[in-house]
A = this chain, B = another copy of it.
Amino acid sequence: MSYESSPWRQRLHTVIFEADTRAGRTFDAALIVCIVASVVIVVLESMESIGSRWRRELFLAEMAFTVLFTVEYVLRLVAVRRPLSYARSFYGIIDLLAIVPTWLSLILPGAHYFLTIRVLRLLRIFRILKLTEYLSEAGVITGALRASRRKISVFLFTVLALVVVIGALMYMIEGPAHGFDSIPTSMYWSIVTLTTVGYGDLSPKTPLGKLLASVVMILGYAIIAVPTGIVTSELTAARGRGHSRQACPACGREGHDDDATHCKYCGAAL
């Protein structure tokens, strides 16, 4: 049965994937409520005082939402022209990950906490609310990150190499007696310090350890400037590109603002 010959599939597509009709908007609103409610249920279940008293009710609600989302997932597969390309898309994978954990938890206890992945379904809100402008802003940010992904790789690799070397040094200096009981633990400490998080669950006790820690902290100070600098210069450049694409038809010069209607150099209409 071809897609064109089944009007009910087209109708389903309109309701589920679009938000222009009244039925579509109602469906989307109900979906958002369900997503938020299902995440809240998982969170509530984890709280001792609430989880122990309402365990049965919460479990039933979770199952209900899972059945609902499973039906929705199947309907989406049916409604869409190319089911496989939907199943492989970003939203398709999230929609699947949102239902798998409950079914898994019937076999593996504990697996249902992965249900919080459902929160990612909230990303649909942006789409549903037609906030495409918001999506384009997200695009600017991810674009800036993508444009600087090589700089960020080099940066991350350097940081990781530093973490291993600093971790090994600190393990030698402080040793298991002061809590630095292996190189991995010391590496964890050096990440905690370089990122300026500083829990304080591990901290140097010897003078030499404190000296090295001080150097690491000042290094972290300098290092934190690098990703900020990279992202900022990308964002500034993205803004620059966004503003100046139009050339004047009279003098041919570029660099006009988005709201310009006349060339700022020769006064010709743009």
Q: Quick one: which of A115-141 are within 8 Å of B by CB? A: 115-117, 119-120, 122-123, 126, 133-134, 137-138, 140-141
Q: In whole angstroms, what is the CA distance A269 to B263 when docked?
A: 11
Q: In whole angstroms, what is the CA distance A187 to B140 when docked?
A: 28
What residues of B have a CB within 8 angstroms of the CB of A152 in the complex? 222
Q: Report, as a range, how many residues of chain A touch the other chain.
A: 35 or more
What residues of B have a CB within 8 angstroms of the CB of A193 in the complex? 197
Is the contact region of chain A dominated by helix, strand, or loop, or is it mixed? helix
Query: Is there a chain B Cβ closer than 8 Å to A257's Cβ?
Result: yes
Let me know if B266 and A164 touch, CB within 8 A.
no
Which of chain B's residues has its CB closest to A152's CB? B222
Give the segment of A23-31, A39-47, A61-69, A72-80 that binds chain B: A39-47
Query: Is there a chain B Cβ closer than 8 Å to A54's Cβ?
Result: no
Instruction: Write 26 A-B pairs (CB below 8 A) sorted by A numbering.
Output: A39-B164, A42-B168, A42-B183, A43-B164, A43-B183, A46-B182, A46-B184, A47-B183, A113-B172, A114-B172, A119-B161, A119-B164, A120-B161, A123-B161, A137-B154, A141-B226, A191-B217, A195-B217, A195-B221, A196-B197, A199-B203, A225-B232, A229-B232, A233-B239, A236-B237, A259-B265
Counting from the closest, the 10 A-B pairs by CB-CB distance are: A262-B267, A116-B168, A260-B264, A197-B198, A199-B200, A267-B267, A229-B231, A229-B232, A200-B200, A46-B183
